[in-house]
Structure 1
Amino acid sequence: MTRVYLPTTLEDLARFVDQGYLPESTERYVAPGEDEESEYAALTAAAEASHALLQGAGRRVVVVAEVTDPDGTVALEQLQAVHADLADDADPDDDLAWFAAQEIPDLLGER
């Protein structure tokens, strides 16, 4: 299994949940190694890409999934966690908060 980091927004995360998958065309980052530093680098790159997706105010969101094909469709069941800003317009240099997959409905309710 490969861990992928997918930059998104809260609105796109809601669509992901409604559809049950993210298409192959979704941008993604893969850690070059399994160590914490490599994973943090992939998360940070995905967070920067998420910031670029925002049109005005919003919160950076990064979906983390374990997949067999890092270039394939990501099913909702493969989701491991979500990292997100705690508030709109957070400093892009701040770390993202961690949310378990089960907390996605609560996270989306905060929009």
Structure 2
Amino acid sequence: MRVYLPCTLPALARVAGAGELGPAPLTGYAVTPALIEWYVSGDTEELEYVALTEAARASLRMLAADRADGVEVAARRVVVAVDVPDGDVTVRPDLEERARVRLDAAVPSARIAAVHVDEPEAVKDVEAAIAALPAADLGDDDARFTVDGAEANELLWYATQEIPDLIG
């Protein structure tokens, strides 16, 4: 199963050094039965894009949390796509996020299929979205619009052999 794991550039550097994504449990996003039911007319590619987008939203929250903890982190969303056995994935149908899943074990780097990262030109929109998150969470429509604005930026696709260039 293809699972999209939210990440940040510093976390990706730790993955490269450790040789795995972890520690478990890991929250990811995938094409789940609930997502298929909700998105009735979508094909697999469209459904995977929805899961990728959910992971990018989670990456934005990781960036905000790092900043709140005083960690210097580039305002670029990162999503790591991994291929894992279906049995390693726990689907949570009770959650509002239809694509959300849990991995109960760390994921070896060999299972990374690709990495998706904001292009440098997206930094301004991602910075604004990070700043707007608290107000958006409280229901401010203008702040939600700003957060959604980060999603207007497509994540770029990188092969696994390009990870050293991303973190270098």
Scaled by the length of structure 1, the TM-score of the pair is: 0.88
Give the Cα–Cα distance (whole angstroms) in 1 for the partners of residues 5 and 30 of structure 2.
9
Partner of 1:37: 46
Percent identity at matched positions? Answer: 45
Measured after TM superposition, the shift of residue 73 of structure 1 is: 1.9
Partner of 1:51: 60
Of 68, 78, 81, the match for 2:111: 78
Measured after TM superposition, the shift of residue 27 of structure 1 is: 1.8
Partner of 2:157: 98
Relative to structure 1, is the Cα distance of residues 90 and 27 closer, same or farther in structure 2, using a 3 angstrom cutoff?
farther
Q: Give aligned pairs, total.
A: 108
The secondary structure found in structure 1 opposite 2:26 is coil
Give the Cα–Cα distance (whole angstroms) in 1 for the partners of residues 113 and 124 of structure 2.
23
The secondary structure found in structure 1 opposite 2:27 is coil
Relative to structure 1, is the Cα distance of residues 21 and 102 closer, same or farther in structure 2, using a 3 angstrom cutoff?
same
Is the Cα contact below 8 Å between 1:59 and 1:90 reproduced in 2?
no
Max Rg structure: 2
Scaled by the length of structure 2, the TM-score of the pair is: 0.60
Partner of 1:22: 21
The secondary structure found in structure 1 opposite 2:76 is coil
Is the Cα contact below 8 Å between 2:9 and 2:74 reproduced in 1?
no
Measured after TM superposition, the shift of residue 90 of structure 1 is: 4.7
Amino acid aligned to 2:21: L
Q: In the alignment, does 2:85 pair up with 1:61?
A: no
Listed as ranges, the gaps of 5+ residues in structure 1 are: none
